[in-house]
A = this chain, B = another copy of it.
Amino acid sequence: MRAGVFDSGVGGLSVVKSLLAHHLFDEIIYYGDTARVPYGVKDQNTIIRYSLEALEFFKNFEIDVLICACNSVSAYAIPELRQKAPFPVFGVIEPGAIAVKNKIADKKAPILILGTKATIASQKYQTLLKNFGYENLSALAPTLFVPIVEEGLLDGPVLEQTMKHYFDPVDIDPKGIILGCTHFPLIQKPIQNYFPKATLIHSGEAIVEHLQASLQMPKTKTNTSLKLFSSENPENLKRIANQWLGLKP
């Protein structure tokens, strides 16, 4: 099977990492809109327009399924993409909410949703989790985590001070934390250290479970081939793929 993975930039490689680890696909076509990244600070209409343009890109490939790794795309553009796409389209928000349901039985447990401004404002995670019966939800957009990860500051005093800025005012003791942005899994460990009792929900792992359940996919035995594309010079994407995934595509 051949999957398309769409992301606003390089962050979706954290989802690709999970897809590779579970050998779900024979081939992955990755497209990052690096010329217009980030989406998470942009408005709904812009995100939908850019997502539909990316769909045109994927129509050039015979993909069996399109995975939107970007939470901001998943928050706003899934209905439009599904309407226009000749293949199934999956976002990461529904899988993330289902992962909460699978992992945290107590519906009174405090859940902290972390995401971009766009994702949090969409209320998509909040609505799904409320429908699943969760009563104690907090949501937070730690906007600076994205550029900090892109700057490669995955630990150290800048990240620590920024975590204090966003997390010190959090007045719940979360039992579950949704890492609702592709960049956040790269600082999963310091987030876990800050909230040692919380179960962290990772979009990549959540979408793998969701795809396995939805498509009843067998693991492929061979390695997945990965092709990387971006809307500007792909050198930066390739460099980060090398760094994050430990491979030279």
Contact = CB atoms under 8 A, between A and B. Distances in A.
Contacts of A153: 144, 165
Copy number in the complex reads 2
Nearest to A161: B161
A232 B143 contact: no
A147 B158 contact: no
Interface residues of A, number: 29
A232 B144 contact: no
Interface in A105-163: 143-144, 146-148, 150-151, 153, 156-158, 160-162
Contact of A45 (B41, B165, B232): B232
A35 interface: yes
A123 B41 CA distance: 30
Interface of A: 34-37, 41-43, 45-46, 143-144, 146-148, 150-151, 153, 156-158, 160-162, 164-165, 231-233, 236
11 contacts: A41-B150, A42-B232, A43-B236, A45-B233, A46-B231, A46-B232, A143-B151, A144-B148, A144-B153, A146-B147, A158-B161
List 4 tightest A-B contacts by C-beta distance, closest first: A161-B161, A43-B233, A147-B147, A46-B232
